[in-house]
């Protein structure tokens, strides 16, 4: 069993590298995990890669096992699936999800690990963070039977929300995105894709996930009177214009923030973070989520992958990183 690990660090804005370091000794209440796969949360991680995390919220944006600080050098990430190599006998040999950065081996407290259900493939399990965000958004908004709903933005978070909502007895569900390629994604998910010009109005709820001012404006325009936009976009250092003029007040529209760092208020007294993550992993038994896995690369290529995702050369929903011993050929 190796006593060293390799991890990915953003060394300065736009640059990253793999670094080797010794693993800390295993202490009581801890486990050592060998990573099988990690996922890149493209929106947040490219902002970190580019050095675009606003200083005033840097503390709020820290990942649970982050090392270093934004702007670099920083070790960042939070979608890791691995196999427990050492630790409590009840965990050894089990597959687990952890909010850990991109690293081939690591030591963490056992309470930071969540068991992956047997019928959830390891690669699909890297989506647990995105699906947990989607679960929290549904808890924030509480969609009802017969609702008319639009999801604006067909990225990883928007697609995860649409995949969960397809289970609900809704009157209408549309995935709204200007990219025609999202039509194939929507078909795989079993939901309707529409171009923004063709999106239906009079919505009860709109989930906005496009991270653009145009998308937020569209979302407000799609609402019926007293409807609500659930805002999940992360804008980094950008400050989008929000159209609060015209009939915003007359129609009593609402914009509600939804952020995964805190349990949604309607469930906060009765659910823990572990409960919410377990709910997300259970939802991932649905094979429709495989449509969100849009590519993979070996761990040693991660510096190039992050560069290409940041520049737009590589397009992805959730790009999977495969580690040695994962039995996966990208």
**For residue 31, what are the domain limits?**
4-127+284-322
Radius of gyration of the chain (CA): 20
Q: Please tell me whether residues 111 and 153 are part of one structural domain.
A: no
pLDDT tens readout for residues 247-295: 999 999 999 999 888 999 999 999 999 999 999 999 999 999 999 998 8
Please report which confidence band the pLDDT of residue 54 belongs to, taking 50, 70 and 90 as the band edges: confident
- The span from the CA of 99 to the CA of 91, in Å, is 17
Residue 329 forms part of a structural domain: no
CATH number assigned to the domain comprising residue 89:
3.90.180.10
- The span from the CA of 284 to the CA of 277, in Å, is 11
For residues 151-179, give the mean pLDDT: 97
Alpha helices in the chain (DSSP H): 42-49, 122-125, 128-141, 156-165, 182-189, 213-222, 273-283, 302-311
Q: Please tell me whether residues 147 and 249 are part of one structural domain.
A: yes
- The span from the CA of 29 to the CA of 16, in Å, is 32
- The span from the CA of 306 to the CA of 319, in Å, is 10
Q: Which residue, 195, 196, 255, 210, is CA-closest to 230? A: 255
Q: Which residue, 126, 133, 289, is CA-closest to 207? A: 133
Q: Please tell me whether residues 106 and 183 are part of one structural domain.
A: no
Q: What pLDDT score was predicted for residue 1?
A: 64
pLDDT tens readout for residues 9-26: 999 999 999 999 999 999
Residue 191 forms part of a structural domain: yes
Q: Is the pLDDT of residue 239 over 90?
A: no
For residues 228-257, give the mean pLDDT: 90
CATH number assigned to the domain comprising residue 183:
3.40.50.720
pLDDT tens readout for residues 61-115: 889 999 999 988 999 999 999 999 999 999 999 999 999 999 999 999 999 999 9
Q: Please tell me whether residues 167 and 247 are part of one structural domain.
A: yes
Q: What pLDDT score was predicted for residue 325?
A: 84
Please report which confidence band the pLDDT of residue 202 belongs to, taking 50, 70 and 90 as the band edges: very high
Residue 222 forms part of a structural domain: yes
As to burial, measured by CB atoms within 10 angstroms (0-12 exposed, 13-18 middle, 19+ buried), residue 221 is middle
Q: Please tell me whether residues 147 and 226 are part of one structural domain.
A: yes
What's the sign of the alpha-carbon dihedral 175, 178, 180, 181?
negative
Q: Please tell me whether residues 158 and 218 are part of one structural domain.
A: yes
- The span from the CA of 24 to the CA of 193, in Å, is 48
pTM for this entry? 0.91
Q: Is the pLDDT of residue 330 over 50?
A: no
Q: What pLDDT score was predicted for residue 251?
A: 96
Q: Which residue, 11, 23, 319, 329, is CA-closest to 155? A: 319
- What is the count of structural domains for the chain? 2
DSSP 103: B
Q: What pLDDT score was predicted for residue 234?
A: 80
The neighbour count for residue 251, using CB atoms within 10 Å, is 13
């Amino acid at each position: 069993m190796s006593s060293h690990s390799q991890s990915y660090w953003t060394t300065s804005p736009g640059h990253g590298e793999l670094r080797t370091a010794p693993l800390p000794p295993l202490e009581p209440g801890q486990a050592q995990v060998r990573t099988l796969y990690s996922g890149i949360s493209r929106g947040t991680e490219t902002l970190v890669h580019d050095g675009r995390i606003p200083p005033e919220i840097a503390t709020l944006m820290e990942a649970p096992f982050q090392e270093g600080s934004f702007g670099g050098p920083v070790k960042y990430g939070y979608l890791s699936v691995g196999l427990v190599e050492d630790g409590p006998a009840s965990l050894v040999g089990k597959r687990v999800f952890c909010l850990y950065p991109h690293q081939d081996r690591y030591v963490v407290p056992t309470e930071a690990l969540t068991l992956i259900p047997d019928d959830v493939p390891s690669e699909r399990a890297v989506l647990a963070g995105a699906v947990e965000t989607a679960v929290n958004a549904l808890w924030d908004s509480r969609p009802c039977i017969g609702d008319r709903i639009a999801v604006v933005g067909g990225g990883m978070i928007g697609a995860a929300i649409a995949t969960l909502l397809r289970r609900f007895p809704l009157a209408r569900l549309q995935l709204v995105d200007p990219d025609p390629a999202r039509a194939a994604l929507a078909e795989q998910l079993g939901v309707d894709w529409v171009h923004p010009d063709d999106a239906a109005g009079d919505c009860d709820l709109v989930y906005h996930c496009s991270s653009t001012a145009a998308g937020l404006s569209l979302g407000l325009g799609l609402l019926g009177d007293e409807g609500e936009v659930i805002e999940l976009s992360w804008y980094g250092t950008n400050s989008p214009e929000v159209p609060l003029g015209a009939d915003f007040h007359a129609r009593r529209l609402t914009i509600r923030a939804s952020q995964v760092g805190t349990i949604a208020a309607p469930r906060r007294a009765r659910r823990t973070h572990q409960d919410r993550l377990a709910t997300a992993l259970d939802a991932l038994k649905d094979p429709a989520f495989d449509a969100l896995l849009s590519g993979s690369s070996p761990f040693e290529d991660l510096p190039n992958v992050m560069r290409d995702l940041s520049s737009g050369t590589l397009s992805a929903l959730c790009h999977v990183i495969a580690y040695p011993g994962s039995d996966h050929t990208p």
